[in-house]
């Protein structure tokens, strides 16, 4: 007979496992959990994560790192209280280049992470995405909206992997009684984004800092709403500690067009860069803005960091990288 697992409440210092722990969001989550008294085990295969994001945690006795692809069986010989499943490429350029790995980490990786949570009696949180709404026909997006995704388009590998991951989490909840949480993450920015990951924030900021033209795709009329990373991580932490099995949008409802955003970046960097227009990528969502009523009512959460303040910190970080 296998030894009976300790319930989460019996352990004084909680242990958290973060898949994708060396990524942009995973590493910020590790910092917050360590600050709040958790032991953290970060798992990453460095496909899009970076050792630079966790180097400052080296030598911390509460932090452990395992280099592993989470689509393979995850073996851990210690009690675990929380599993945070963040491993995945998340930039359209990345998942265009590695669509199979993107599909595998969203499906097989989620399966392994859920299996770990089930085995340890741990609570599980899935980092899902606003991409599950596809090119949305409902605006702003509420959690009730089922989405408008092109399954066979270039973004399908990410969108469908995350939709599958949500379905799998709910199946583990319903069939195995695993305590599951699903966060739908909207566009997020901040230090530790990869300079060349192709997403609009690193792209515009690095172009502006180098005095190169900012590449606005299409007419720049498409909209996004940007959340600063510390706000996002706080919302996710609250969700894990809440009783909400239903998905929760976490993001900043401050919406702007990409042309407006390019101008904002030029101003914030004090750059003399011009703006050039490039073709709009296929299936690029025309508008995106979270409805955050559920996060407000269930988690008492809303974003606090204004765009100008968040951009200042992000630009400072990128100045050290360009």
Given the rule CB under 6 A, which of 38-46, 213-221, 226-234, 238-246 is the region that contacts ligand UDP? 213-221
What SS3 class is residue 152? coil
Decide if 237 is catalytic.
no
* Pairing mode of beta strands 39-44, 15-19: parallel
Q: Is 200 in the site for ligand UDP (CB under 6 A)?
A: yes
> Quick one: 69 or 166, whose CB is closer to ligand UDP?
166
Q: Which of residues 79-98 bind ligand UDP (CB under 6 A)?
A: 91-92
Question: How far apart (Å, rounded) are the C-alpha atoms in residues 109 and 16?
Answer: 17
Among 199, 238, 289, 294, binds ligand UDP (CB under 6 A): 199
Strand (E) or helix (H) holding 266: helix 258-269
- For residue 93, the minimal CB distance to ligand UDP (Å) is 7
Among 18, 203, 248, 250, binds ligand UDP (CB under 6 A): 203
Among 217, 245, 263, 305, binds ligand UDP (CB under 6 A): 217
CA 105, 111, 112, 116 torsion: positive or negative?
A: positive
Question: How far apart (Å, rounded) are the C-alpha atoms in residues 295 and 299?
Answer: 5
CA 57, 58, 60, 62 torsion: positive or negative?
A: positive
Q: Is 258 in the site for ligand UDP (CB under 6 A)?
A: yes
Q: Is 185 in the site for ligand UDP (CB under 6 A)?
A: no
* Cβ contacts of 65 within 8 Å, gap of 6 or more: 21, 22, 41, 42, 43, 44, 54, 57
The residues annotated as belonging to the active site are 158
Task: Write out the residues near ligand UDP by the rule CB under 6 A.
Answer: 91-92, 187, 198-200, 203, 215-217, 222, 224, 258, 281, 284
């Amino acid at each position: 007979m296998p030894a009976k697992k300790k319930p989460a409440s019996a352990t004084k210092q909680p242990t958290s496992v973060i898949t994708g722990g060396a990524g942009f969001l995973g590493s910020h989550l590790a910092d917050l959990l360590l600050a709040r008294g958790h032991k953290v085990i970060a798992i990453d295969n460095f496909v899009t994560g970076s050792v630079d994001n966790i180097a400052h945690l080296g030598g911390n006795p509460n932090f452990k790192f395992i280099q592993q692809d989470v689509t393979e069986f995850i073996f851990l010989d210690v009690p675990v209280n929380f599993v945070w499943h963040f491993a995945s490429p998340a930039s359209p350029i990345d998942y265009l280049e590695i669509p199979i790995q993107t599909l595998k980490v969203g499906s097989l990786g989620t399966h392994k992470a859920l299996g770990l949570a089930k085995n340890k009696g741990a609570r599980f949180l899935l980092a899902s995405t606003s991409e599950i709404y596809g090119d949305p026909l409902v605006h702003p997006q509420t959690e009730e909206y089922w989405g408008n995704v092109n399954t066979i388009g270039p973004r399908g590998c990410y969108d469908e992997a995350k939709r599958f991951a949500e379905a799998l989490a709910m199946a583990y909840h319903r069939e195995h009684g695993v305590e599951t949480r699903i966060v739908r993450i909207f566009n997020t920015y901040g230090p530790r984004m990869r300079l060349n990951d192709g997403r609009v924030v690193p792209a515009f900021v690095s172009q502006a800092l180098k005095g190169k033209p900012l590449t606005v795709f299409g007419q720049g009329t498409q909209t996004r709403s940007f959340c600063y990373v510390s706000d996002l991580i706080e919302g996710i932490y609250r969700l894990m500690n809440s009783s909400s099995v239903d998905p929760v949008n976490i993001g900043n409802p401050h919406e702007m067009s990409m042309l407006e955003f390019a101008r904002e970046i030029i101003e914030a960097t004090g750059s003399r860069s011009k703006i050039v227009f490039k073709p709009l990528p296929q299936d690029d969502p025309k508008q995106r803005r979270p409805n955050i009523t559920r996060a407000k009512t269930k988690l008492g959460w809303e974003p606090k960091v204004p765009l100008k303040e968040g951009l200042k910190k992000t630009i400072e970080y990128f100045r050290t990288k360009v």
